[in-house]
Amino acid sequence: MGKRDPRDERRGRIKYQWLLSFVVLMFVILAGRLLYLQHIRYEYYAQYAQENQLQRERIIAPRGLIKDRNGVVLVDNVPRFDIVMPWRGEEDIRRTVDHLNHFLPIDTTNVYERFKVWRKRNTGIPFPVVRNADKLVISFVRENYDRFPKLRVETNARRRYREGAVAAHLLGYVGEVNDEFLLRSSHRGYVSGDLVGKTGIEGVCESFLRGKDGQRVVAVNAAGTKLGEFNELLEPPVPGKDVTLTIDGKLQRLLEDLVRARGSGAAVVMNVEDGSILAAVSLPGFDPNSFAIGIKQAEWNALNQAEEKPLFNRFLTATYPPASTLKIVSMYAVLSNRLVPPGEALVYCTGAHRFGNRIFKCWKAWGHGYMDLHSGLVQSCDSYFYKVAERMDVDMLASACEEFGLGTRTGIDLPNEIQGLVPDRKYYDRRYGKGKWTQGLVLNNIIGQGEFLVSVLQMCRAVSAIANGGYLVRPHVVREIGGEFHGVYPRRKIRKLTGPIQNRIRRAMRDVVQSQDGTAKSSRVAALKAAGKTGTAQNPHGDDHAWFIGYAPEEDPEIAIAIIVENAGHGGSVAGPIVRKFYEEYFKEPESVEAAGPTATAVATPVAREDQ
Amino acid sequence: MRVSRDIDSLVLTTSVLLCIIGLSLIYSVFHPAQSGFSQDVDYQYFNRQLIWVCFGIVAMLIGFAVPVRYFEALAYLYYLFCVVLLVVVLFAGSGDTAQRWISIGPMRLQPSELAKIALLFVWGRVLSGHMGGMDRAKKMFASIGLLLVPFLLVLRQPDLGTAIILLVMLLPVLYWRGLRGRQIFFIISPVVAGVLIIYCGQILKHSWPFGVYIVLIFVVAYMGRSNPRESITLVVANLGVGFVGPIILNHLKPYQQSRISTFLNPESERLGAGWQVFQSKIAIGSGGLSGKGFLEGTQKALEFLPAKHTDFVFSVLGEEMGFAGALLVLVLFAVLVSRALAIAVKAKGQFASTVCIGIAAYFFFQTFINIAMVTGMAPVTGIPVPFLSYGGSSLVVSCFLVGFLLNCSVKWYEY
């Protein structure tokens, strides 16, 4: 490669010397470090190596509490005992488990399965041989220390749902993480056997409720006795954050009791202004405590396969035909599209309406007589709406429903919300083919029968919009997380729900409850003006479902309610009385009125006015 | 026909010795300890490593016998090949937590190891005198550009340890090819400042190392006061990093902060790094001066030592062979590195000389960072020790580089 520049060569030699000295220096540092560890600190490390005396103990961070809007604790933690054994080779653990099996009934296949998963994770924490041990097992392990010196009783936390089945669907439950969950990379830090929120608030707020586990390293002698803690490696746990709900525990329990008295069903009570939910009922329910302990397969099967589907969330994941409750939206569609000009002739209801060669029946077989839009809604006259529907485009109703948030998810902060179904032109074209369906479908739709499917939550939000001056709110149940307010959401204006249109609907809904002809007079409470609408949903599988939606007080609305009682019959006679009892409690008790927040004074006013 | 004499026997001896030590360590790791459990000895890893040694010998012969000018000619092609492999591994790779390997039948190939050779070769080529018309600064930037592609790809896997090795290997190479010590210091000092302030502040929760460092910077700046502009820049850059770093860090969201600290300290996950390093320190420390004896280590058997056959193999050495054994290995590596430096001085041609410096850097940094890690002086980043750690790609690459060193060390006579 040619001649070398002597200057380059000299510079090269100097650089060589620098590099060499650097390398030697670094290696000397390493040698010094090794000498330090292996000579000066030899005794110290040798002692720890002796019998592998160090054990890692995880300090499980306490899971955050769940409270109701008044700060009453709904979900907390109580101690639970596990029998654990440190890792000293696979053989050792198998031997111990088999040996233990002679004395105590243990599901060994289950233990070995968990062991496989635990081993794969190899986190160094002791293996839990028996989880959630009962007194018998604990006392056996403590008494037979000489026989099983390696077993230890470890205290962990168990989730406790203080009110049992109350608000079970809303709170959700915790359970052991499954393998699939562990393998997802976004779930780092979870160890086999950890409890994780599965549904409801427990699931949605998992990342907040769960704290960060700590660890302590303890020195243990060969017999397994704890000698002391090793503080250099102590990592204190960080507790999870508390979650405060918008739910009022008392009202929740009250409403559940009221609905339970009439069977199964769902109900939602919502603040009309901000969409915070005060109570959300789904019945029949289940006791989440049985999940927290670690549910047994048979118990789970029973819950899962039961005819009445207790695990099914009926206010969020179930859909029902809205039936006559939809007429408030139909009325909006009629008014906003100016289908009934002022001075329109009355419709005479004979109990049936002929359209083409089909007969559409009104629920009142002997007929309502002369009806206009107002009395049509108040008395829920089907014939009147059939007549109007002859002039209505299918998409007029569909878009009105869409404006009221029916057939779309409300965006509530709970999982598994259902969308429902609002049939429109596209839907029918797809289903029956273009031009192969008739206006008759609209007649069915306008009274809330047909393909319509909505959730109780959607109906509650829709009626809130009428109550609060035309705003579609975002329903939510989480109020605070870790003490920070969390409940502000945007709301959407329903375009034409203003002025005269809104007043006419509200007047009609008031008369549903307040007038003698109204279908919901059974929900009337003395000294309180309320508004509402009943419904009776035809159920092909059994008796009709009873609907009621409404808000109160009428003049200055504060809460909206939507309720359905399954297979119970008529909305006015079944759902109405439940609402009446709820109003009586809600507006009577000063504490719960106060608790409802800033609108408390506004509530008192109409009551006082009524007294005058 | 090429014949040679004056083969560098020190390089050959040390590497053969290291190979033998590595094989016996892997044998020992999977050999049950005396107190033992009734499990069979697992020869699977040992046998596989033995096969890899055979491949290593072939690689060494290739590195030795093929004339250097061929390597120089093929440098870019090979570099391109490695980059393609690194892209492939991102999409089709396998690995427990990161995608690092390509499976070829029963063997697993780690392209990031092959990329180390590729970088040494392309740097050798860019920085040696053949790039007509390019001035020195341009060459330097070209070599940094060539580094960035594999660097980012490896970082994406993610394999921070290997990426850092790729990065630091460049410094001695640049120094050798013209940068002065001062300039090297200029390049690394703000980086050191950043790492010190973030690493010590976030993970060790001490800030005094940064203070000491800044004092050092002032001393250096004072010594270079004849060139005031440089000195001021040096001080300002370091102080700037020291002040701005924590401010930026504090303005990040908590999850971003934890991502950064996980990035700086990848195995710091819950119950992770502290435990591993502590177990490693127990293993090494309990080895004492003379060790517990071959196959007699107790820490390894109980699965307390993580990655004991790869990243923590040195801990097993320290436990079983004690300070004596560890020192022997240190000396062997020191000899290997210093011979590589010496060969670089007398190698014919700038390409060969540059590559030899790179080889010295490779052996030095891999060994130094790993041992610093297992003795608790550096964060756990997962870097294998050449020759000792289990793993075929690393062994073959090390063997090839030794072959190349031998190639450069001898006088060839061509007939």
Whether A376 has a pLDDT exceeding 50, the answer reads: yes
Chain A nearest-CA residue for B292? A46
Whether A403 has a pLDDT exceeding 60, the answer reads: yes
Of A52, A189, A213, the CB nearest to B302: A52
Of B271, B341, B350, the CB nearest to A123: B271
The rounded distance, in Å, linking the Cα atoms of B2 and A125 is 61
| Chain B residues within 8 A of A15 when measuring between CB atoms | 175-176
| Chain A residues within 8 A of B330 when measuring between CB atoms | 27, 30-31, 34
Cβ atoms of B316 and B21 within 8 Å: the answer is no
Instruction: Tell me if chain B has a CB within 8 Å of the CB of A28.
Output: no
Whether A596 has a pLDDT exceeding 50, the answer reads: no
What per-residue confidence (pLDDT) applies to B169? 94
Chain A nearest-CA residue for B175? A15
ipTM of the complex: 0.90
| Chain B residues within 8 A of A35 when measuring between CB atoms | 323
The rounded distance, in Å, linking the Cα atoms of A393 and A339 is 10
Q: What is the pTM of this model?
A: 0.59
Chain A nearest-CA residue for B285? A38
SS (H, E, C) A496-526: CCCHHHHHHHHHHHHHHHHCCCCCCHHHCEC
Shortest Cα distance from A65 to chain B (angstroms)? 22
A495's CB contacts (< 8 A; 6+ apart) are A336, A403
Of B181, B349, B360, the CB nearest to A18: B181
What per-residue confidence (pLDDT) applies to A592? 47
Higher pLDDT, A303 or A202: A202
Q: Which two tokens stand for residue A572?
A: 């006015």
Whether A466 has a pLDDT exceeding 80, the answer reads: yes
Instruction: Tell me if chain B has a CB within 8 Å of the CB of A189.
Output: yes
The rounded distance, in Å, linking the Cα atoms of A530 and A524 is 7
Chain A nearest-CA residue for B68? A1
Of B176, B275, B377, the CB nearest to A33: B377
Mean pLDDT of the A252-278 span: 93
pLDDT in tens, A313-332: 999 999 999 989 999 999 99
SS (H, E, C) A452-470: CEECHHHHHHHHHHHHCCC
The rounded distance, in Å, linking the Cα atoms of A141 and A85 is 11
8 Å CB contact of B345 and A13: yes
What per-residue confidence (pLDDT) applies to B270? 35
Instruction: Tell me if chain B has a CB within 8 Å of the CB of A15.
Output: yes
What per-residue confidence (pLDDT) applies to A123? 57
What angle (nearest 5°) sits at the alpha carbon of residue B123, between those of residues B122 and B129?
100
Kindly give the confidence (pLDDT) of every residue in chain B, 415 residues in length, as a single tens digit, with 9 standing for 90 and above. Answer: 566 667 888 999 999 999 999 999 988 887 765 444 434 566 788 888 999 999 999 999 999 999 999 999 999 999 999 999 999 988 876 665 566 778 776 778 889 999 999 999 999 999 886 545 567 788 888 999 999 999 999 988 878 889 989 999 999 999 988 888 888 888 888 888 887 777 776 666 667 778 888 888 888 888 878 888 888 888 888 888 888 877 877 776 666 666 566 555 544 443 445 667 777 888 899 889 988 888 777 666 555 555 677 888 999 999 999 999 999 999 999 999 999 999 999 888 889 999 999 999 999 999 999 999 888 887 777 789 999 999 889 999 999 999 999 999 887 776 6
Q: Which two tokens stand for residue A482?
A: 């870790």
What per-residue confidence (pLDDT) applies to B414? 66
According to DSSP, the residues that pair with A369 across neighbouring strands are: A349
8 Å CB contact of B342 and A215: no
Residue recorded with tokens 């009806």? A371
Instruction: Tell me if chain B has a CB within 8 Å of the CB of A215.
Output: yes
Chain B nearest-CA residue for A90? B37
Residue recorded with tokens 């559940």? A256
What counts of helices (H) and strands (E) characterise chain B? 14, 4
Among A49-63, A234-248, A393-407, A451-465, the least confident range: A49-63
8 Å CB contact of B326 and A41: no
Of A1, A34, A44, the CB nearest to B318: A34
8 Å CB contact of A24 and B285: no
The rounded distance, in Å, linking the Cα atoms of A45 and B277 is 13
pLDDT in tens, A537-579: 888 778 889 999 999 898 899 999 999 999 888 888 888 889 9
Radius of gyration of chain B (CA): 22
| Chain B residues within 8 A of A23 when measuring between CB atoms | 334, 337-338, 341, 360, 364
Cβ atoms of A404 and A332 within 8 Å: the answer is yes
Most A CBs within 10 A among B286, B320, B374, hence the mutation to make, goes to: B286
8 Å CB contact of A31 and B278: no
The rounded distance, in Å, linking the Cα atoms of B408 and B169 is 19
Instruction: Tell me if chain B has a CB within 8 Å of the CB of A12.
Output: yes
Shortest Cα distance from B257 to chain A (angstroms)? 15
8 Å CB contact of A45 and B285: yes
For chain A, report the end-to-end CA distance as a whole number of angstroms. 113
Cβ atoms of A241 and A265 within 8 Å: the answer is no
Q: Which H/E stretch holds residue A67?
A: strand A66-67
Is-cis flag, bond preceding B246, omega within 30? no
What per-residue confidence (pLDDT) applies to B411? 77
8 Å CB contact of A23 and B338: yes
Higher pLDDT, A316 or A92: A316
Shortest Cα distance from B245 to chain A (angstroms)? 26
